[in-house]
Chain A
Amino acid sequence: MKLTKDEVQHVAELAKLQLSDAELDEYAGQLDQILAYAQQIQSVDTSAVPPTPQVLPLSNVLADDASRDSLSNDQAVDNAPDTDGGYFRVIAVFDESGA
């Protein structure tokens, strides 16, 4: 299996990463190694093992529906790089088509 540069570019875009051409080559190689390792694990016969989403011996950890105090607005936005009237403020987002 060999990852293409386009595939690495696609994954990088999903993660909002800007990679240089050299980085794309470098990470393609590294990701290849990781996938090769996963492939090695996939060769183990797990047909008799149910999928395991969790390794902890826990289930139904549920809380009662009783409210507790929230953070104040000051606390909530305290770490934000930019705020406006109690809102978090970010650079305008538009749908990608611009529509």
Chain B
Amino acid sequence: MTQEYNVVVGMEVHAQLLTNTKMFCRCSADYQGAPPNTHTCPVCLGLPGALPVSNRAAVEATIRTGLALNCEIAETAVFARKNYHYPDLPKGYQISQYELPLCRNGWVEIELPDGSVKRIRIHRAHLEEDTGKNTHAGLHTLVDLNRAGMPLLEVVTEADIASADEAYAFLTKLRSVLRYLGVNSGNMEEGALRCEPNISVRTPEQAARGELGAKVEVKNLNSLRAVRNAIAYEAERQAGVLNAGGVIEQVNMGWDEDRQRTVLQRSKESSEDYRYFPEPDLPPLVVDRQWVEETARTLPELPDAKEQRYRQDWSLRPADTGAITGEKAVADYFEAAVAAYGQEDGKPQRMANWITDELFRLLYADGEGQDLRQIAATRVQPQQLAALVQMVDARKINANTGKKVLELMYGSGDDPQTVVKREGLAMVSNTDVIDAAVQEAFDSNPDELARYRSGEKKLFGFFMGQMMRATKGKADPQAARQRLQEMLDG
């Protein structure tokens, strides 16, 4: 019999903070694409006698993020040295935080498929420095230290994540919050946001006794999809090993994107091997409560709060609130469009439909695609979209024509009025024109007309289609339907 297993996932997420300079020196953080070792100084090269000085903006970004993740902000936070040897780490230690991190005990809420809300607890969030970059070239390794010393925020969750989909939802939410705060680009492909899940499985009986299986940490995940696939794969692999009578070893694995599988990496060092001790070169951070309160006041409205407001004030459907609040650029666009269009009579929902159905479709099909933040650069201004939907409401154009007009606006940036006039797309409700179109449909299809009149009423739709084609889709559907009915029955 095959045993059933529950999957247990905890995550470590590293987010490069969007500062101008590095964490402990004032080398420029703008090193992407720069030649190797051109953004370094004695501090980030680890030269003897150099004195690190903490970046105020990085400390503040960490406090902001901690507050947004519902963490307690420490009154005293202390940097510590994490000692290990690797060529991308010139000092032989990484400056991190250990016993006294800046942020602890927070949470992020995710929505489950059944609509319920689950809280993923944040164990801690702390500041540390990034390493350099190794390039392996045959018998040698080439080291570029431009990235060494970049500020990194590390977020560690409790092992509250119970599936690959929950992990995906958690990371999506975390990335969204980081982008709202403007502290991280959220770019996983470039490594600005890196996620290392640790994954274990256990039987329901073990779960009841509070036991955990041996955990496997997976690295080299460069997209949200890779995180989801790696967790699903690893959970299945572990269950397979156990069912075959094997044992799961606590190891690090890497994700092989091409083969969609995990592969063994080096064996995991136990934490005491890092020989953490307080960093003597950096005085402690003392965060008085006034600093925390002032920082809290600078937080923007976050995605959860926006979602709740859209649902409560504007009765938006839950499916749409998530799609709109996920990216701040989309939420900003939506709110500007609603401001121009109106908040009454279900208008926000109607606007949400236009954005998530029509505008998203155009964005996805355009250029790089997939990245909805492009909405901020679209030629269709929120006010122009509002004007377009108003024209549909006022039955100056019908909804299908509206979609066509939006497409033309998307290409040209023109106002909807201009497009409608230029393309001759105004809705036809003139009875003479409609009557002529109906007559044309009758004349071209005498057999169908006879069948309809002898009782085959479902042909109504056929005639409606013929009639709309004859008017190039511009007929007022309501008026057209009414005249068609009258003339069919007449």
Once bound together, how far apart are the Cα atoms of A1 and B47, in whole Å? Answer: 37
Within 8 A of B (CB), among A46-99: 51, 53-54, 56, 58-68, 70-73, 76-77, 79, 84-97, 99
Q: Is the CB of A99 within 8 A of B264?
A: yes
Surface stretch bound by A, among B49-57, B191-199, B323-331, B358-366: B49-57
CB-CB < 8 A to A66: which residues of B? 20-21, 26
Complex-state Cα separation, A61 to B78, whole angstroms: 12
A residues within 8 A CB of B136?
A: 92-94
* Inter-chain contact A87/B285, CB cutoff 8 Å: no
From residue 274 to 323 of chain B, which have CB atoms closer than 8 A to chain A? 275, 278, 280, 282-286
Interface size class of B (residues with CB under 8 A): 35 or more
The distance in angstroms between the C-alpha atoms of A64 and B59, with both chains bound, is 11
5 A-B Cβ contacts within 8 A? A61-B283, A67-B28, A71-B42, A86-B35, A97-B264
Q: Which among A56, A62, A77 has the greatest number of chain B C-beta atoms within 10 A? A: A62
On whether A70 and B40 interact (CB within 8 A), knowing A76-B45, A76-B145, A87-B144, the answer reads yes
CB neighbours of B41 from chain A (8 A): 70-71
A2 within 8 Å of B (CB atoms)? no
Bound form: Cα–Cα A51–B99 in Å: 11
Leading 4 A-B pairs by shortest Cβ distance: A53-B278, A65-B57, A87-B142, A58-B283
Bound Cα distance A48, B466 (Å)? 90
Q: Of B81-89, B160-168, B180-188, which stretch is located at the interface?
A: B81-89
Task: Report chain A residues within 8 Å CB of B275.
Answer: 14
The interface of chain B, by Cβ under 8 A from chain A, is 19-21, 26-30, 35-42, 45, 47, 53-59, 78, 83-87, 99-100, 134-145, 254, 263-267, 273, 275, 278, 280, 282-286
B78 touches A53 (CB 8 A): yes
> In the complex, what residues of B have CB within 8 A of residue A90's CB?
87, 140-141, 143
Q: How far is the CB of A63 from chain B (nearest CB, A)?
A: 5
Closest to B136 in A: A92
Q: Are B283 and A59 in contact (CB under 8 A)?
A: yes
Q: How far is the CA of A6 from the CA of B280 in the complex (A)?
A: 30
Nearest chain B CB to A17's CB is how many angstroms away? 11
Q: What 13 additional pairs, Cβ within 8 angstroms, besides A71-B41, A85-B36, A99-B264? A: A54-B280, A62-B59, A65-B55, A66-B26, A70-B27, A73-B36, A76-B145, A87-B135, A92-B136, A93-B141, A94-B136, A97-B264, A99-B254
Instruction: Please determine whether B28 and A86 come into contact, CB atoms closer than 8 angstroms.
Output: no
Chain A 24-49: CB-based contact to B (< 8 A → 1; otherwise 0): 00000000000000000000000000
Interchain CB contact under 8 A, A63 and B26: yes
Distance of A59 Cα from B284 Cα, bound (Å): 5
Given the interface pairs A53-B278, A73-B36, A77-B37, the reply to whether A93 lies near B87 with Cβ below 8 Å is: yes
Which among B53, B139, B283 is the interface contact of A63 at CB below 8 angstroms? B53
Indicate if the CB atoms of B36 and A63 lie closer than 8 Å: no
Contacts of B134 in A (CB 8 A): 93
A89–B53 touching, CB < 8 Å: no
Interface centre among A79, A86, A93 (most CB of B within 10 A): A93
**Residue in B26, B37, B139, B267 whose Cβ sees the most chain A Cβ within 10 Å:** B37
In the assembled complex, the Cα of A91 lies from the Cα of B282 at a distance in Å of 32
User: How far, in whole Å, are A66 and B55 apart by their CA atoms in the complex?
Assistant: 9
Is B26's CB under 8 angstroms from A87's CB?
no
- Majority DSSP secondary structure for residues of A touching B: loop
CA distance A12 to B383 in the complex (A): 68
Which of chain A's residues have a CB closer than 8 A to the CB of B254? Answer: 99
CB neighbours (8 Å) of A60 from chain B are: 283, 285-286
Q: Are B36 and A87 neighbours in the complex by a CB distance under 8 Å? A: yes
Check if A92 sits within 8 Å of B57, measured CB to CB. Answer: no
Q: How far is the CA of A62 from the CA of B275 in the complex (A)?
A: 26
Verify A70–B53 contact, CB threshold 8 A. no
Q: Of A68, A84, A96, which contacts B267 at CB under 8 A?
A: A96
Q: State in angstroms the CA–CA spacing of A53 and B264 once bound together.
A: 38
Closest to A96 in B: B266
Do A99 and B265 have beta carbons less than 8 Å apart?
yes
Chain B residues with Cβ below 8 Å from A92 are 136-141
Q: Which residues of chain B come closer than 8 Å to A76, judged between CB atoms?
A: 37-38, 40, 45, 145
B275 → chain A closest CB, angstroms: 7
Chain A residues whose CB sits within 8 angstroms of the CB of B264 once the complex forms: 97, 99
Give the distance to chain B from A94, nearest Cβ to Cβ, in Å: 8
State in angstroms the CA–CA spacing of A50 and B273 once bound together.
25
Contact call B265/A97, Cβ cutoff below 8 A? yes
Nearest chain-B residue to A65 (Cβ)?
B57
A68-B26 Cα distance, complex, nearest whole Å:
6
The answer to whether B86 touches A93, judged by C-beta atoms less than 8 angstroms apart, is yes
> What's the nearest-Cβ distance from chain B to residue A85, in Å?
7
Query: What are the residues of chain B within 8 A of A77 when measuring CB–CB?
Result: 37
Q: Which of A60, A71, A87 has the most CB of B within 10 A?
A: A87
Tell me the complex Cα distance, A16–B136, Å.
21
CB distance from A46 to the nearest CB of B (A): 16
Instruction: Give the CA-CA distance A5 to B245 in the complex, in Å.
Output: 37
